[in-house]
Structure 1
Amino acid sequence: MRSEKVERMREQILNGPIVKTLLILAYPLIINQLVQVLYNLTDTFWLGKLGRLELSAPGTAWPLVWFFMSIGMGFATAGFAFVSQYVGAKDYDRANRYAGALYSLMLLFATAVGVSGVILAPYLLRLMGVSDTIFPYALRYTRVIFAGIPFSFTLFAFNFLLRAVGDTRTPVKINIGTVLLNLVLDPFFIFGWGPFPQLGVVGAAVATMLSNSLGSLIGGYLLFTGKVGIHLTPETLKPDFHFYSRIFRVGLPSSIGSSTTALGFVILTRVIFTVGRLYGEAHGLPHYEDVAFATYSITNRLTNFMFAFSDGISMAMGTMVGQSIGAGLYERAKKIAEKTMLINFAILSAGTILFAAFRVPIFRFFINDPAIIAESRKVVLYFSASLPFFGIFSAVNNTFNSAGHTKKSMVIGMIRLWGIRLPLSYGLGVLMRDTAGMWLGMGLSNVLGAVIALAWFLRGSWMRAIIEKH
């Protein structure tokens, strides 16, 4: 590990002005998040040219991909907490050794996930209740995405490790390159421009897989040549079972929390199709479940654009909180988290106002479907006002994870999704016999989840380190 560069960043994180340091760390992460959202929006734009069914295919695939990946991401989160806290404690050798062990573990796990996903995809899509009209598009898209999971996952691992040592710029440069490549490849593979085959929905998945593969290879090259803050070698990649036992102890709650959250969104997809079908039947509208889910897919893309800002700031906060706790500066960690919550709430409030004001032209940009545009009005009325509260929830969740207190993160995540969102979305949808109830249930889960998370944060039980100090 190049401790001179890391040491300079560590000094600023532990002693510099909180907001200024937060923004210095956050702006590359925000750019990175915006670039990722741009990729999602581009996919949605081009697939919208094919039709409502094709546009919906990625939205059915990602809850499944997220479910499998989230199992490993929980352990990656624990690894991030250890590496960042060891940097805060100035134990650079151990931080570097654990980074290598984590990287090799993630590579093996991702390979297993990719193979399993390709085989199980049709059964999982049926479990989600995907409509027969969308199913064939979703199946082809999902299988290609799973085939590329090992590359996607090692790229995520690269991002996690560099963020742990305070380098938020290098991953952004790589991610911008991969997304720009994806933007270029998308229409060529989807529509068969020039010498490329016309693959439709599958073309969007192929473009994604190729772009992530290139990013993963570049990230691996930088890690193994020591050109970034972490230097991986064959020695550091060797299994470290003592570290793995600690990773599993800390990471298991996060893994359970992340995977059950992802599973919750698989179930939420089924809720949307079910409520949409009930609403359609009650009002004589055939296949209204496809309208409901297409609206949800576009809404997700738009809210992700807003969350790009708050998520970037929350991730930067995670680096500062992790290193502050590693250095024993608990009150500073608390102030960092509180300032992040206020910034997130303000950003998402402004974004919500713009979303509500320009709803129609925004949705029409993706697909000029009167039924979807009409459904989007319910999104604004019953869901959008809850988005600023999710900014608070996200900040608290990142605080708990970065401190290594992953059980707390697991519990608040499960309460928000399984205890509040799923029951209310389905229950209110059936009670009102309208998709408006479904959107209202989603909105209430953000508000109530934020209140519960904030109350737990203020208790301060997360303010202790998880690393061994010598």
Structure 2
Amino acid sequence: MAGPMALGIVAIQAFNLVDIFFIGLLGTEALAAISFTFPVTFVVISLAMGLGAGLSACLGQALGAGNQQQAALFTSHSLLLALLLVCLLSVLGMLSIDPLFRLLGATEALLVLLHDYMLIWYLTMPLLVLPMVGNSAIRATGDTRTPSVVMTVAGLVNGLLDPLLIFGLGPFPELGIKGAAMASACSWLMASVVGIWLLWRRERLLRWPLLQPGLLFIHWRKLLQVAIPASFTNLLNPLSTAVLMMILAGLGTEVVAAYGAASRIEALMLIAMMALSSVLAPFISQNTGAGQHQRSRRALLQSMRFAVGFQLGVFALLWVLAPWLADAFTDSQEVSRHLTFYLRLVPLGYGLQGCSMLLASALNGLRVSSISLLLNSIRLFGLLLPLAWLGSYWYGETGVFTGILIANILAGIIAATFAWWRFPWKIKQPIN
């Protein structure tokens, strides 16, 4: 199940880089404007991921229990709630474009570009959220290949339309930064149509009429019990990264640059863990719904063992390639030195970091994402940031990077211990 997801994640990251590349050709101001949109877009994506996690967990349990009718009703009600929430956010976003980005520090010149881009982005935002939540429903059935193909094709459509609409190639008008927003909207529209069709015709997971008050609010409550903590869990990571960047900023520009490059390499090195964690939740939810609790437990523990072994192999590879990668990312000897040190130290803990990611996904599959939120909060704000700050105070950048490693190791040990002694935790009954 994780294999197709890994390919889909790679494709999306590649096409995102293509998107940024074409926008960068418009000039520094356009690239800066897009950078200001990242906090807003990440909040929306976190909400969509949280709703997707809630839908996947509840739907998987219902399907595992063989309750197809209730699964279809729950999917329909969940997509309706997602649509209502995102439409509300869309209206609020359009009304707050100028004051919000002024608050974030955008200049008047950038506000013109931001208004052009974000107005289209907010108008078409439902087309982004619906396929993200819908794909989670398809993955809950056990099919990870189709969502990955949809993700890849949507990214390809975006990448092909970008130069046509941004620069006005051939019969297309030259729209500048508006063209980038419209290219994204077209790819989201394609993904939405395909996703809804699959849920309706192939999976039989959409029903009409939707308005059944006796079940509607019950289903919404059960969805949000998982979705709200899962959304906050996603939001904690960029928040902790922002605080970590503040710590690193006090150590010099070269350290910040090295960490920025390391983060991009790290995202590639953890793709296997991201893919595995994304499919572990529906796997566990289906088996839990079917009463196969020991199979769920074995799946988590075997995934953790795989994570440790696989990421140790990645660490060995990075140890050899670190100097070459550092030279490829920078011409500065100082930045290269910091980056090489990071890549030969921090990846040692990737396996145990993967254990934390896998446990969080497994707890979402059991519909106890509040425990996942608690454990992630401990990892980031109880371990990583304090150890990074103490490391910077005592040993500078060496101490920060060592603090990150120690935090990941400790958090991974906590996750593995929790999985061994307490999983599965508070098994909930499938939806009814």
- Is the TM-score greater than 0.5? yes
* Partner SS for 1:312: helix
1:97 aligns to 2:73 (yes or no): yes
Unaligned runs of 5+ in 2: none
2:385 and 2:103 map into 1 onto residues whose CA distance is: 16
1:276 and 1:57 map into 2 onto residues whose CA distance is: 24
1:332 and 1:441 map into 2 onto residues whose CA distance is: 36
How far does residue 199 in structure 1 lie from its aligned partner after superposition? 3.3
1:387 aligns to 2:367 (yes or no): no
Question: In structure 1, what is the equivalent of residue 297 of structure 2?
Answer: 334
Question: In structure 2, what is the equivalent of residue 7 of structure 1?
Answer: none
Question: In structure 2, what is the equivalent of residue 323 of structure 1?
Answer: 286
Partner of residue 274 from structure 2, selected from 293, 296, 311: 311
- Mark the CA change 1:136 to 1:242 in structure 2 (over 3 Å): closer, same or farther: same
Partner of residue 278 from structure 1, selected from 238, 250, 257: 250
2:329 and 2:167 map into 1 onto residues whose CA distance is: 17
Letter paired with 1:396:
L
| Superposition map of 1:47-66 within 5 A | 61-66=37-42
Question: In structure 2, what is the equivalent of residue 459 of structure 1?
Answer: 421
- Mark the CA change 1:469 to 1:216 in structure 2 (over 3 Å): closer, same or farther: closer
Question: In structure 1, what is the equivalent of residue 134 of structure 2?
Answer: 158
2:400 and 2:408 map into 1 onto residues whose CA distance is: 13
2:317 and 2:266 map into 1 onto residues whose CA distance is: 11
How far does residue 419 in structure 1 lie from its aligned partner after superposition? 2.2
How far does residue 204 in structure 1 lie from its aligned partner after superposition? 5.0
How far does residue 164 in structure 1 lie from its aligned partner after superposition? 1.0
* Partner SS for 2:4: helix
How far does residue 191 in structure 1 lie from its aligned partner after superposition? 6.1
Conserved in 2, the CA contact under 8 Å of 1:48 and 1:367?
Answer: no
Of stretches 314-323 and 390-399 in structure 1, the one that deviates more from structure 2 is 314-323
How far does residue 454 in structure 1 lie from its aligned partner after superposition? 1.8
1:36-89 deviations in Å (ceiling 9; x for gaps): 222234345556778999777766644443334434543432222111111111
How far does residue 29 in structure 1 lie from its aligned partner after superposition? 1.7
2:302 and 2:352 map into 1 onto residues whose CA distance is: 15
Question: In structure 1, what is the equivalent of residue 198 of structure 2?
Answer: 222
* Partner SS for 1:230: coil
Letter paired with 1:197:
E
1:292-348 deviations in Å (ceiling 9; x for gaps): 666555444433323322222223322221111111111111111111112222333
1:38 aligns to 2:14 (yes or no): yes
1:199 aligns to 2:161 (yes or no): no
- Mark the CA change 1:461 to 1:389 in structure 2 (over 3 Å): closer, same or farther: closer
1:188-222 deviations in Å (ceiling 9; x for gaps): 5566656563736x765554343223212222233
1:143-173 deviations in Å (ceiling 9; x for gaps): 7655543211111111111111112222122
1:212-259 deviations in Å (ceiling 9; x for gaps): 2321222223334x1x21342431x33656454354356336523532
- Mark the CA change 1:303 to 1:267 in structure 2 (over 3 Å): closer, same or farther: closer
Letter paired with 2:421:
R
- Mark the CA change 1:403 to 1:276 in structure 2 (over 3 Å): closer, same or farther: closer
Partner of residue 409 from structure 1, selected from 372, 375, 380: 372
Question: In structure 2, what is the equivalent of residue 399 of structure 1?
Answer: 362
Conserved in 1, the CA contact under 8 Å of 2:140 and 2:283?
Answer: no
2:378 and 2:45 map into 1 onto residues whose CA distance is: 21
1:4-53 deviations in Å (ceiling 9; x for gaps): xxxxxxxxxxxxxxxxxxxxx22222222221222234345556778999
Question: In structure 2, what is the equivalent of residue 114 of structure 1?
Answer: 90
- RMSD of Structure 2 on Structure 1 (CA): 3.9
Letter paired with 2:424:
W
How far does residue 278 in structure 1 lie from its aligned partner after superposition? 2.8
* Partner SS for 2:270: helix
How far does residue 110 in structure 1 lie from its aligned partner after superposition? 1.6
1:192 and 1:298 map into 2 onto residues whose CA distance is: 33
1:352-379 deviations in Å (ceiling 9; x for gaps): 4434443465566677677765553353
2:336 and 2:112 map into 1 onto residues whose CA distance is: 23
- Mark the CA change 1:260 to 1:177 in structure 2 (over 3 Å): closer, same or farther: closer
1:123-152 deviations in Å (ceiling 9; x for gaps): 666877x798x9879957777655543211
Letter paired with 1:455:
T
1:266 and 1:229 map into 2 onto residues whose CA distance is: 37
Question: In structure 1, what is the equivalent of residue 310 of structure 2?
Answer: 347
Identical residues among aligned pairs (%): 22
1:422 aligns to 2:396 (yes or no): no
Partner of residue 269 from structure 1, selected from 242, 254, 258: 242
Letter paired with 1:268:
T
Of stretches 100-109 and 443-452 in structure 1, the one that deviates more from structure 2 is 443-452
1:170 aligns to 2:142 (yes or no): no
1:127 and 1:453 map into 2 onto residues whose CA distance is: 38
How far does residue 441 in structure 1 lie from its aligned partner after superposition? 4.0
Of stretches 455-464 and 82-91 in structure 1, the one that deviates more from structure 2 is 455-464
* Partner SS for 2:250: helix
Conserved in 2, the CA contact under 8 Å of 1:294 and 1:372?
Answer: yes
Conserved in 2, the CA contact under 8 Å of 1:292 and 1:372?
Answer: yes
Question: In structure 2, what is the equivalent of residue 6 of structure 1?
Answer: none
How far does residue 262 in structure 1 lie from its aligned partner after superposition? 0.9
Question: In structure 1, what is the equivalent of residue 232 of structure 2?
Answer: 259
- Mark the CA change 1:369 to 1:67 in structure 2 (over 3 Å): closer, same or farther: farther
How far does residue 414 in structure 1 lie from its aligned partner after superposition? 1.4
1:245 and 1:444 map into 2 onto residues whose CA distance is: 43
1:416 and 1:427 map into 2 onto residues whose CA distance is: 15
Partner of residue 218 from structure 2, selected from 238, 242, 245: 245
Letter paired with 1:376:
L
The count of corresponding residues between Structure 1 and Structure 2 is 430
Letter paired with 1:230:
R
